[in-house]
Amino acid sequence: MISAKLVREFTVDTLNVKVFSDRDALGKSAASEVAAEIKRVARLKENVNMIFAAAPSQNELLDELAAARDIEFSRITAFHMDEYIGLSKNAEQRFGNFLKRKLFERVGFKSVNYLEPSDENPQTECKRYASLLDTCIIDIVCMGIGENGHIAFNDPPVANFSDPQAVKVIELDGKSRLQQVHDQCFARLDEVPKRAITLTIPTLFKAESICCVVPGRLKADAVERTLRGEITVECPASILRRHRNATLFLDIESARFIV
């Protein structure tokens, strides 16, 4: 039976899409499915490897996961998918610090691997993090979609579905930087860093499963292009339609152009 808060469920190519009445319902459902996937993987292997996005769009999912009492976080190794270059280590806008506050410090993970880019030589950090990722199979990615259709910081100008690099330095797209102001992470556009490190699309796509949480009116255009446009790097999130096990969680506002 479809829940009263589940408005619509359908597939586009191989991508599962679920539309909910509000953000709370979206977050609860996404967290429930992620928890079930963690438990499934944990029955098959000792260690569960996960990658997390850091953004206000993920708040409800992260809060629900942190409150769960039936997840063995002590068996989970965590990574995150992008980080600014140029912010101080203690800056609250750093994605690692966001995830630390929202999840990593609230429960006991087996280990957490932070991206730690330096201004002087971020390429060294790309190589270090890529080598960490290369030692394991990523089981679950929890991610969002940007206003310009990006996944992680793979913005349309730099996105590459066949990227040979696992982790790379990028120049942030103007729309991507403006989103950080819309999200109230920065007061002004000139405060937003212009460079970052990101996991590339092939790295994210290797995950056994993907949970993509996308609430809010400002994401509606990107959602429509993801689901109804061509699969193209002009909308990097469109590649999710080719993943073997991905679910896109929307609310009424982000789905307003497709329902």
**How far is Cα 168 from Cα 231, in angstroms, rounded to an integer?**
22
With respect to residue 4, please indicate whether it lies within any of the assigned structural domains. Answer: no
Return the percentage of the chain with pLDDT > 90, whole number: 96
With respect to residue 259, please indicate whether it lies within any of the assigned structural domains. Answer: no
CATH code: domain of residue 141: 3.40.50.1360
Count of domains for the chain: 1
Q: Is the pLDDT of residue 166 over 70?
A: yes
One DSSP character per residue, 69-105 reads: SS--GGGEEEEESEEEESS-TT-TTSHHHHHIIIIIT
With respect to residue 253, please indicate whether it lies within any of the assigned structural domains. Answer: no
pTM: 0.95
Q: Is the pLDDT of residue 2 over 50?
A: no
pLDDT digits (tens, 9 = 90+) for 176-217: 999 999 999 999 999 999 999 999 999 999 999 999 999 999
Boundaries of domain holding 222: 12-248
User: Mean pLDDT score of the chain, rounded to an integer?
Assistant: 96
With respect to residue 7, please indicate whether it lies within any of the assigned structural domains. Answer: no
- pLDDT score for 45: 96
With respect to residue 5, please indicate whether it lies within any of the assigned structural domains. Answer: no
With respect to residue 52, please indicate whether it lies within any of the assigned structural domains. Answer: yes
Q: Taking residues 79-106, report their average pLDDT.
A: 96
Q: Taking residues 233-241, report their average pLDDT.
A: 98
In angstroms, the Cα distances linking 133 to 26, 44, 99, 144, 155 are: 29, 20, 18, 20, 21
pLDDT digits (tens, 9 = 90+) for 21-54: 999 999 999 999 999 999 999 999 999 999 999 9
- pLDDT score for 118: 84
Residue with token string 């996308």: 214
With respect to residue 257, please indicate whether it lies within any of the assigned structural domains. Answer: no
With respect to residue 142, please indicate whether it lies within any of the assigned structural domains. Answer: yes
- pLDDT score for 4: 52
